[in-house]
Structure 1
Amino acid sequence: MLVDLAAVEAAASTIQHDVVRTPTVESPGLTDALGVPVTVKLELLQRTGSFKARGATAKLRSLDDAERTAGVVAVSGGNHGIAVAAMADALGVKATIVMPRSAPRRAVELAERHGASVHLTGDVTEAFALSARLQSEGLTLLHPFDDPIVIAGQGTVGLEFARDAGPLTDVLVSIGGGGLVSGVAAAVRALRPEVRVWGVETEGSDTMAQALAAGAPVPMVPTSIVTTLSPPAVTELTFEHVRALVEDVLVVTDAEAVRGSLDLAEAAKVWTEPAAGCLVPAARRVIERVGPSCRLGLVVCGGNATVSDVLTWAERFHVA
């Protein structure tokens, strides 16, 4: 049931001419801030501003002629929709994107700019329901995480990280539905079995942490501001990957995630969204748990947040 290294390597071969091999670099600023060596994988420099282009392209490249002609539908809180719209446009496939109205306006605008038909719904649960109806009408679902092909595509992040980074003891990965952490863990644990992989969520969108506590996926109504990490539930597929391959899932507050984005801007000199900012407070917890001899790797998953967005959140949470 789990995606293996062979599947990730096959995805890497499939998408190699469509996506960027993003930089893997040591971060002196984060090393100073956290007190341990830190290496970052800069997926915010990927096409469309996040890792999502990888899984979207892998799935789009797998379609047969009839599926390409009919088009695809995707549900997204932001980044997946941007990626599907852009990569479908590049590959000549018609895309329909369904987003909750809480999705960032910029995400909607970018999806429309790439020629996608965008439908807005009241919340993410309604978005998934609408996508199911559109799928029944003939569109192919390009699920953001519940698809082995998508997971293998996201796993190419871990493939590159494991091959390009120096010594690591722990890798931290943000979790929305769990596609990225599943793929990264599959690749990293295969190539560097001694490395621990940690997932990170925000309160109000901690669907994977709740699933682990319950022993199975459970539904919830997301309340976190981090809409790119806010599915109504994880799935059995991603749950099983995390249960088998991930050390633990750490949950931080929205305020900590926003502060983390500012920390990344100040220390690492990169502009990120809170979906990546959440890694910084989680990294401090990992250091507390495993000790100061660790060497951390952070998958900086995306940078699709405007200055106005982050400053508004910082004011809301009194984060200076």
Structure 2
Amino acid sequence: MTLDLGLIDEAVAFLDGQVRRTPVEPAPLLSARLGVPVYLKLECLQLTGSFKVRGALFALSKLSEADRRHGVATCSAGNHGIGLAHAAHRLGIPATIYVPAGVDEAKLRAIEALGARVVRSAFSGYDATEAWARQEAARAGLPFLSAYDDPHVMAGNGGTVAAEVLADVPEARTFLLPVGGGGLAGGFGFYVKERLPDARLVACQLAASPALLRSLERGAAVTEMPPVETVAGGLEGGLGVLPFAVLRDRVDHVALVPEQDLREGVRWMLDHHRYLVEPSAAVTVAACLAGDVPPPAGPVVVLLSGRNVSLATLRNILA
């Protein structure tokens, strides 16, 4: 199975009525900064608190009956685990979620509340946790669903969000996307560039873990990165092979955002839009605030991917 427009259209049809069609709203202050209309795609208002539920639902719908009975496993820094736990609970599928040692406690509690089995690793970084999780899942005979390196996840996550954005803001020509493993950006970038070849994609990454930039420099996916201490666990770690195959010829600019700018992005969204977004989601706003966006040729859409952050982390950011 490969990512194509047909698969994304299938995901759009399947998810209709099962997830929220999240709103798009103007961002006047960002518009003044960039000199063009800027809109926020508020996927932070999605069920489970992030876009990840889209890909999880679509991917689980493709499991065989035998796999549905036996269960599924994944590795997650938090949001994919919540999305998968929600989808598995809805579909009656047992789910095991492997998480890094330093997983955000709010995300951990949300996964557990949805009835999934949670196994915390001894590793602080995502990549080492995922390698261990794949071994554990294979030992248990469970199919492993990647948080990003899977065509159904890419179609459900990025593809369906992109379809909504182009329907709601058809004049948009520049799109700012958060990039961790690349599943959201890969699905979104594929759909947008197929529909609008002149569109510009700005990939926003954590400066301390720039897997996409390193992949572009190398010409191959950098699937592992050294672990870093960050409040944005969703941006830490390597890039997926399938997302890189999509993004390598579609990304127009990579914005590298330092840790302190992520925190400012969270504070700015609360102050100016009254929305709570998690640090991994704030990376796109932070890139705008820092001026790390090439002069846009037309209206801009800034994707805000999630809101799941613990009270302790939020207090630390606001302090």
Q: CA deviation at 1:245?
A: 1.6
The 2-side partners of 1:205 and 1:84 are apart by 25
Q: Which moved more, 1:293-302 or 1:126-135?
A: 126-135
Residue equivalent to 1:38: 38
Q: CA deviation at 1:264?
A: 1.5
Residue equivalent to 2:102: 102
The 1-side partners of 2:269 and 2:18 are apart by 28
Q: How does 1:178-193 map to 2 (within 5 A)?
A: 178-193=182-197
Q: How does 1:1-320 map to 2 (within 5 A)?
A: 3-32=3-32, 34-123=34-123, 124-136=126-138, 137-154=140-157, 155-218=159-222, 219-223=224-228, 224-231=230-237, 233-284=238-289, 289-290=294-295, 294-315=298-319
Same amino acid, percent of matched pairs: 32
The 1-side partners of 2:302 and 2:293 are apart by 16
Q: CA deviation at 1:96?
A: 0.3
Cα pair 2:276 2:307 within 8 Å, conserved: yes
Give SS of 2:3's match. coil
Q: Residues 251, 63 of structure 1: CA spacing in aligned structure 2 closer, same or farther, 3 A cutoff?
A: same
Give SS of 1:172's match. strand
Cα pair 2:30 2:288 within 8 Å, conserved: no
Aligned partner letter, 1:225: V
The 2-side partners of 1:288 and 1:112 are apart by 39
Aligned partner letter, 1:156: T
Q: Which moved more, 1:189-198 or 1:101-110?
A: 189-198
Q: CA deviation at 1:102?
A: 1.1
Give the ranges of 4+ consecutive aligned residues of structure 1 lying more than 3 Å apart after TM superposition: 32-36, 284-288
Cα pair 2:44 2:50 within 8 Å, conserved: yes
The 2-side partners of 1:271 and 1:30 are apart by 17
The 2-side partners of 1:96 and 1:28 are apart by 43
The 2-side partners of 1:170 and 1:101 are apart by 37
The 2-side partners of 1:142 and 1:70 are apart by 14
Q: Residues 41, 120 of structure 1: CA spacing in aligned structure 2 closer, same or farther, 3 A cutoff?
A: same
Cα pair 1:41 1:299 within 8 Å, conserved: yes
Gaps of 5+ in 2: none
Cα pair 2:261 2:286 within 8 Å, conserved: yes
Give SS of 1:239's match. helix
Cα pair 1:34 1:284 within 8 Å, conserved: no
Q: Residues 308, 31 of structure 1: CA spacing in aligned structure 2 closer, same or farther, 3 A cutoff?
A: farther
Give SS of 2:68's match. helix
Aligned partner letter, 1:9: D
Q: CA deviation at 1:29?
A: 4.5
Q: CA deviation at 1:314?
A: 4.6
Q: Residues 288, 179 of structure 1: CA spacing in aligned structure 2 closer, same or farther, 3 A cutoff?
A: closer
Q: Deviation string for 1:23-82 (max 9, x for gaps)?
A: 122233433465531111110111100000011111111111001011011101111111
Q: Residues 245, 2 of structure 1: CA spacing in aligned structure 2 closer, same or farther, 3 A cutoff?
A: farther
Q: CA deviation at 1:130?
A: 3.0
The 1-side partners of 2:293 and 2:95 are apart by 45
Give SS of 2:166's match. helix
Q: CA deviation at 1:313?
A: 3.2
Cα pair 2:72 2:145 within 8 Å, conserved: yes
Q: Residues 70, 81 of structure 1: CA spacing in aligned structure 2 closer, same or farther, 3 A cutoff?
A: same
Q: CA deviation at 1:270?
A: 1.3
Q: Which moved more, 1:252-261 or 1:13-22?
A: 13-22
User: What RMSD over aligned residues (CA atoms) do the two structures have, in Å?
Assistant: 1.9
Give SS of 2:61's match. helix
Residue equivalent to 1:318: none
Count of residues in Structure 1 that have an aligned counterpart in Structure 2: 313
Gaps of 5+ in 1: 316-320
The 2-side partners of 1:20 and 1:306 are apart by 23
Q: Residues 2, 284 of structure 1: CA spacing in aligned structure 2 closer, same or farther, 3 A cutoff?
A: farther
Q: CA deviation at 1:294?
A: 4.0
Give SS of 1:200's match. strand
The 1-side partners of 2:302 and 2:49 are apart by 16
The 1-side partners of 2:311 and 2:106 are apart by 12
Structure 2 length-normalised TM: 0.92
The 1-side partners of 2:116 and 2:153 are apart by 20
